[in-house]
Amino acid sequence: MDYYPLFLNLKGQACLVVGGGEIAFRKSQSLLKAGAHVTLVAPDITPELRQLISDEKITYISKCFIPEYLAAKRLVIAATNDSTLNRLISAKADEENILVNVPDDLKSCRFIVPAIIDRSPLIIAVSSGGTAPLLARLLRQKLETMIPASYGDLAKFAAHFRDQVKNKLSILTARRRFWEGIFEGPIANRVLNGQITFAENEFRQALALHVKDEGTKTGEVFIIGAGPGDPELLTLKALRLMQQSDIVFYDNLASPDVLNLVRRDAIRVSVAKKKNKHKMAQTEINSAMIEHAKAGKRVCRLKGGDPFIFGRGGEEVEALIDAEVSFQIVPGITAASGCTTYAGIPLTHRDHADTVTFVTGHKKDNGKLDIDFEHLAKDRQTIVFYMGLGNLPEISDRLQFHGLASDTPAAAIEQGTYAHQRVLCSTLKNLTSDTEGFDFQSPTLIVIGKVVSLADKLHWFGSPPIKGKCNLASDHLQDKTSLEFIPRFNTA
Ligand code: SAH
């Protein structure tokens, strides 16, 4: 973040605007709106500014700028048509610790002015940090159409009841829950429709009811599939529940961009392995979720992909049921679906694959890959290995041993659905050495089957697929020895 966003209270504060043109007029007007005392310095001014002066709204000094005019000012805007003078004003103001802005000269600004949507007392500010003001303005236009003008009335309505609610509901989470119910429910609609008296009566009833219920209320756990990485792949339900959560337990597959969408003031707990710290065991995660839910919190368990696909979601839900904690489960786009789609690999295709199988490539505690390879090694299907990168040599060898052709197209997708995703297209035989050669790291998804050959044509996202060695089927046909298969594992 390059700038610290803040809203400044300028009521009764002395501010200086230097310049006599249209920009100086606009800036003076917005400062006046915020209740500031504006002094304008400029030898010549526009008729609009003259009007402001004759209405006695601003103080006018009909001279050129001198540093003495900065005395006792909180904020200054240098808006003359002389960029050298603007820079000089900026430097002097900065020396005096006065906040300074020079329109269209980012380097000379101590603060920048956002595009705003004014629904006072509700104000929404949008800024591109000075990089693309037009983009910020476009965004503002979009938001303008989404936020009814009467939202200001809703904010005033809430302000009226704020202290009452605070007195009756002393616990922050209880208050938050109450207000969320109000803002998302029929009472807010009443206010937006101008039915204030109805709204006030219903509000009082709702508050009394909430106070009565609060003591008996327990929390809830949301087991949420966060998808493979791209935050736009979240479901609407996932987003809604993430926005309601008080605490979130996330693992390392939940992308930072997704995590950013959890409610800002929610507590964030990583359950992933970290430097000098062991990762939270499944039983510890279960106990922590239960403990917080029983304390009345809304707990978000944010999991990569889909919670029920190699995600231990089932185990977590069992623990919640045993502990009599209520829960909701939100499916997510699993890696097999998200990563292959973003790699241009259709999981099924009429010409290539009628079946798709999701397999874990993770070894059990006894160190064995407990997979029915004989059953898997069939044509006209797509096999997707999760957690398969580390055991790729064995996966590849055993599939070939059971008869799957060495030149079956195979791909590795690293960090799928992220802008920096890498897709490597190779063959069953060569995928291991190719992933090693290109230093593929976790998370990587392995896809085996003829559909992989479509990636070249259907590629649409990120960089084009990387070609592994002997990627082309013709290479194999010329090099018969490459079809010979020598198992590296013990077949006895
Ligand atoms: N529940 C998750 C899977 C968890 S297992 C889901 O439904 O997607 C973790 C494995 O998923 C990783 O080892 C990797 O094989 C795969 N994976 C998850 N996200 C991925 C991503 N963005 N890119 C590539 N592989 C991913």
Q: Which residue ranges form the domains of the chain, and what is each CATH number?
A: 14-113 (3.40.50.720), 151-214 (1.10.8), 220-333 (3.40.1010.10), 337-482 (3.30.950.10)
341 in ligand 1 pocket by Cβ < 6 Å?
A: no
Q: Return the pLDDT at 146.
A: 87
What is the predicted pLDDT for the residue at 469? Answer: 77
- Per the model's pLDDT, the better-predicted residue between 141 and 368 turns out to be 141
The pLDDT of residue 483 is above 90: no
Residue keyed to tokens 């398969």: 388
Residue 22 has pLDDT above 80, yes or no: yes
Whether residue 478 is predicted with pLDDT greater than 90 in this model: the reply is no
DSSP-derived 3-state class of residue 353: strand
Ligand 1 contact, 385 CB (< 6 A) = no
Q: Is the CB of 445 under 6 A from ligand 1?
A: yes
Whether 149 shows a pLDDT value over 90: the answer reads: no
Cα 343 to averaged position of ligand 1 atoms, centre (Å): 14
386 touches ligand 1 (CB under 6 Å): yes
Between 152 and 368, whose confidence is greater?
152
444 lines ligand 1 (CB under 6 A): yes
Is residue 480 predicted with pLDDT exceeding 80? no
Tokens 């490459």 -> residue: 482
57 classed as catalytic: no
Weakest-pLDDT range from 93-97, 253-257, 320-324, 389-393: 253-257
pLDDT of residue 20: 96
How many helices (H) and strands (E) would you count in the chain? 18, 18
Q: Is 427 a pocket residue for ligand 1 (Cβ < 6 Å)?
A: no
Cα(231) to ligand 1 centroid in Å equals 15
Cβ–ligand 1 distance for 228 under 6 Å, the answer yes
Centroid of ligand 1 to alpha carbon of 238 (angstroms): 18
Distance from Cα 225 to the centre of ligand 1, integer Å: 12
**Which of the pair, 10 or 370, is modelled with greater confidence?**
10
- Ligand 1 centroid – CA 305 distance (Å): 6
Is 417 a pocket residue for ligand 1 (Cβ < 6 Å)? yes
Question: Which pLDDT band holds residue 285 (cuts at 50, 70, 90)?
Answer: very high
Percent of the chain exceeding pLDDT 90 equals 77
Mutate to test the pocket of ligand 1, among 445, 446, 461 (most ligand atoms within 8 A of CB): 445
In this prediction, residue 123 has a pLDDT band, given cuts at 50, 70 and 90, of: very high
Average pLDDT over residues 150-154: 91
Place of tokens 């008869």: 403
Q: Does the beta carbon of 313 sit less than 6 angstroms from any atom of ligand 1?
A: no
Q: Is the CB of 335 under 6 A from ligand 1?
A: yes
* Of 233, 250, 251, 253, best ligand 1 pocket probe by most atoms within 8 Å of the beta carbon: 253
The strand pair at 267-270 and 298-303 is best described as: unpaired
**Mean pLDDT of the 118-128 span:** 92
Position 264 scores a pLDDT of 86
Give the pLDDT score at 486: 52
Q: Return the pLDDT at 382.
A: 98
Kindly tell me if the per-residue pLDDT of 275 is higher than 80.
Answer: no
Please tell me the distance between residue 442's alpha carbon and the centre of ligand 1 in angstroms.
Answer: 9
- For 188, the enclosing helix (H) or strand (E) is helix 186-192
The percent of residues above 70 in pLDDT, for the chain, comes to 93
What pLDDT does 467 receive? 94
User: Which residue, among 409, 105, 96, 415, has the nearest Cα to 252 in the 3D structure?
Assistant: 415
Residue 387 Cβ inside 6 Å of ligand 1? The answer reads yes
Q: Atom 13 in ligand 1: which residue has the minimum CA distance?
A: 387
* Ligand 1 pocket, mutate which of 252, 255, 310 (most atoms under 8 A from CB): 310
Dmax over CA atoms of the chain, in Å, equals 100
- pLDDT(491) > 50: no
Does 482 have pLDDT greater than 70?
Answer: no
Ligand 1 atom, smallest distance to 421 CA: 23
What type of residue sits at position 36? Answer: A
Phi-psi label, residue 427: left if phi above 0, alpha if psi -120 to 50, beta otherwise:
beta
Measured in angstroms, how far is the CA atom of residue 227 from the centroid of ligand 1? Answer: 9
Answer whether 224's CB lies under 8 Å from 253's CB. Answer: no
pLDDT band, residue 470 (cuts 50/70/90): low
Distance of CA 232 to the CA centre of its chain: 8
pLDDT digits (tens, 9 = 90+) for 315-332: 999 999 999 999 999 999
More confident residue, 466 or 480: 466
Cα of 168 vs its chain's centroid, Å: 34
Distance 281 CA to ligand 1 centre (A): 19
Task: State the first-to-last Cα distance of the chain, in angstroms, to the nearest integer.
Answer: 59
Q: How far is ligand 1, taken at its centre, from the CA of residue 307, in Å?
A: 11
pLDDT interval class at 32 (50, 70, 90): very high
168 is catalytic: no
Rounded Cα distance, 126 and 136, in Å: 6
Q: Is 91's pLDDT higher than 80?
A: yes
Asked if 269 and 299 touch (Cβ cutoff 8 Å), the reply is no
CB 23 within 8 A of CB 101: no
Average pLDDT in the chain? 91
Identify the pLDDT of residue 265.
85
pLDDT digits (tens, 9 = 90+) for 232-274: 999 999 999 999 899 999 998 889 999 999 998 899 999 986 6
For residue range 51-85, list pLDDT tens digits in order.
999 998 999 999 999 999 999 999 999 999 999 99
Q: Look at 31-45, 324-338, 463-477 and tell me which has the smallest mean pLDDT.
A: 463-477
Identify the active-site residue in 230, 251, 306, 407: 251
Among 386, 441, 448, the mutation site with the greatest number of ligand 1 atoms within 8 A of its Cβ is 386
Which atom in ligand 1 lies closest to the alpha carbon of residue 308? 1
Task: Give the containing element (helix H, strand E) for 146.
Answer: helix 133-146
pLDDT of residue 318: 97
316 close to 240: Cβ distance less than 8 angstroms: no
Q: SS3 sequence, 392-444?
A: HHHHHHHHHHCCCCCCCEEEEEECCCCCCCEEEEEECCCHHHHHHHCCCCCCE
Facing residues of 77 across strands? 17, 101
Q: Which atom of ligand 1 is nearest to the CA of 332?
A: 7
pLDDT band at 439 (very low <50, low <70, confident <90, very high): very high
Residue 209 reports pLDDT greater than 70:
yes
pTM, two decimal places: 0.75
Flag whether pLDDT at 231 surpasses 70. yes
| pLDDT score, position 173 | 81
